[in-house]
A and B are shown apart, each in its own frame.
Chain A
């Protein structure tokens, strides 16, 4: 049982480059989300989705795009990377709409450095 799988594990980008962080889950979870973790800031919500074809913005959406064409996949796109986007990115999923009563399952993260 793979759970939530994120690729790549590490990435270095130059300012202005674009890339896609991949996230896949095999638990048939309706809810998927992206967070970034920075020192002293906890996990901040970037974008989320409550089902295929439905996405919405979280707390810090600027500079990121998402799409949800299938239940399993939820890629995060950096349009034009900036040093401020250097962070660890986590994808998480859960059942919906049981929502708050359903634990979030996290992937192991993508460590992104923008130079």
Chain B
């Protein structure tokens, strides 16, 4: 299973774009990259996911490199409420089981 590597912590100024990197160099062809965040011990909140192509939704953009070995989550205009731990996850389905392979997450702090 692919394992993800993320920086332990990052800071970003309010209103600026927050770019969170993730390495997943051993990812397989059928494994999706998912991003979740946890705000202060709440349940993980889904942000975005992708397989090969770049993706964008109302929360964020996901840029996946052509070799799929790394990706970047972009929060275009960070607010104080975006302060959270962000998890880059490779998700694998094994005989119906949704197995999540986590890294340690990046603690993102948005500063006023």
Binding site for B on A (CB under 8 A): 4, 6, 31, 33, 35, 40, 42-43, 45, 48, 50, 56, 58-59, 88, 90, 92, 94, 96, 99-101, 103-109, 111
Asked if A45 and B99 make an inter-chain contact with CB atoms under 8 angstroms apart, the answer reads yes
**Given A40-B104, A107-B43, A108-B42, CB of A101 within 8 Å of CB of B32:** yes
Contact residues in B for A105 (Cβ distance below 8 Å): 46
Taken together as a complex, chains A and B put the C-alpha atoms of A40 and B8 apart, in Å, by 12
Look across to chain A and name the residue whose beta carbon is closest to the beta carbon of B103. A42
A95 to chain B, nearest CB (A): 11
Asked if B43 and A106 make an inter-chain contact with CB atoms under 8 angstroms apart, the answer reads yes
Taken together as a complex, chains A and B put the C-alpha atoms of A27 and B91 apart, in Å, by 21
Asked if B96 and A42 make an inter-chain contact with CB atoms under 8 angstroms apart, the answer reads no
Taken together as a complex, chains A and B put the C-alpha atoms of A88 and B96 apart, in Å, by 24
Taken together as a complex, chains A and B put the C-alpha atoms of A58 and B102 apart, in Å, by 15
Asked if B44 and A106 make an inter-chain contact with CB atoms under 8 angstroms apart, the answer reads yes
Look across to chain B and name the residue whose beta carbon is closest to the beta carbon of A42. B102
